[in-house]
Structure formats: structure tokens, C-alpha cells
């Protein structure tokens, strides 16, 4: 990955919370916990997932940078959603946590050296795992979920 490609992905990563906020801006508050698309998460569940996922991803990047060949563990996101009552919690603190984790991690990304980008670990679900792998995943993650929120909003109409 070139430095320019990295910078584009970092900018996309940093824009994630704003993209999610744009999709939530006109979402009916009374429908945040609705499931208009069978088998899909509600908008509330998506936001709670983003907060939990972002906190986990922030730690993953830090482990890649600070530890020698760390093992990065996957987790069952559906179990988290069910056991942590995603659809029964206020989204405001989750949005704050999501944005805060992104902002702090963007500071880390801005200071990374070529040596940092070359580090690697092992992901229990994906195998070899590098900061560039991490960036590819998380630069798109919030935008993918923002698109899910848009589809939920459309399904409510």
C-alpha cells in the first residue's frame, strides 16, 4: 500500500462517525429499535456494535504496534448484541464512545512510521494481520454500517 493510499483510507476512517451521524440525522427516534429488514440489526443495535467494535479495534491496532507478533482474537458480534442488550440501551453514549475511539486512534495513525506499518500479528479468524489489514477493514467498517442504517430508513418508508 502506498503512503497516499494509506492517507486516503485514514481520511475515510476519520469520516466514519460523521457518516453514521448523517444517516441517523433523520432516522425516526421511535424506530431506532425496529427491525424492518428481517434478520438484520436495528439502527440501535448497529450503533452499539460500532461502539464495541471500535473499542476492540483500537486495542487491536495498539497491540500490533506495541507487542511482538500479538494474537488478535475474533469475537462473536451477534452474541455481544444479544448478551449486552444492544437494542435496549441509549445510543448517545455509544456514539460518543465510537467517535472518541476513532479520534484518539486517528492520532495514533497520523504518527505511524513505515516501520510501524510493517509490523504484524496473527488474527484467529484471518491469519497474518498487519496494520494495513486493520486499516482496510476499519476504514470501510463505519461506512458499511451507515449504509445499513440508510437501508433500514428506506425500509421504514
DSSP per-residue codes, 3-45: HHHHHHHHHHHHHHHHHHHHHHTTS-GGGTT---STTS--HHH
User: What pLDDT digit, counting tens, does each position of 30-72 carry?
Assistant: 999 999 999 999 999 999 999 999 999 999 999 999 999 999 9
Residue the block writes with cell 449486552:
84
pTM confidence score = 0.95
The reported pLDDT for the residue numbered 26 is 86
Structural domains counted in the chain: 1
> Which residue range(s) make up the domain with 44?
3-156
The reported pLDDT for the residue numbered 140 is 97
pLDDT, mean of each 10-residue run, the chain (157 residues): 94 97 94 94 98 96 98 95 95 97 97 97 96 97 97 93
- Look up the CATH number of the domain holding residue 69: 1.20.120.450
Amino acid at each position: 500500500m502506498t503512503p497516499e493510499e494509506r492517507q486516503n483510507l485514514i481520511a475515510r476512517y476519520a469520516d466514519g462517525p460523521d457518516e453514521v451521524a448523517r444517516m441517523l440525522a433523520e432516522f425516526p427516534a421511535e424506530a431506532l429499535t425496529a427491525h424492518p429488514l428481517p434478520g438484520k440489526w436495528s439502527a440501535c443495535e448497529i450503533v452499539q456494535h460500532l461502539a464495541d467494535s471500535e473499542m476492540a479495534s483500537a486495542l487491536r491496532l495498539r497491540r500490533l504496534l506495541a507487542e511482538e507478533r500479538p494474537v488478535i482474537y475474533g469475537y462473536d458480534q451477534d452474541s455481544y448484541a444479544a448478551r449486552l442488550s444492544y437494542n435496549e440501551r441509549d445510543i448517545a453514549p455509544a456514539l460518543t464512545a465510537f467517535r472518541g475511539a476513532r479520534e484518539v486512534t486517528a492520532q495514533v495513525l497520523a504518527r505511524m512510521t513505515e516501520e510501524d506499518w510493517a509490523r504484524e500479528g496473527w488474527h484467529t479468524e484471518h491469519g497474518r494481520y498487519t496494520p494495513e489489514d486493520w486499516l482496510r477493514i476499519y476504514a470501510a467498517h463505519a461506512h458499511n454500517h451507515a449504509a445499513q442504517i440508510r437501508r433500514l430508513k428506506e425500509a421504514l418508508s
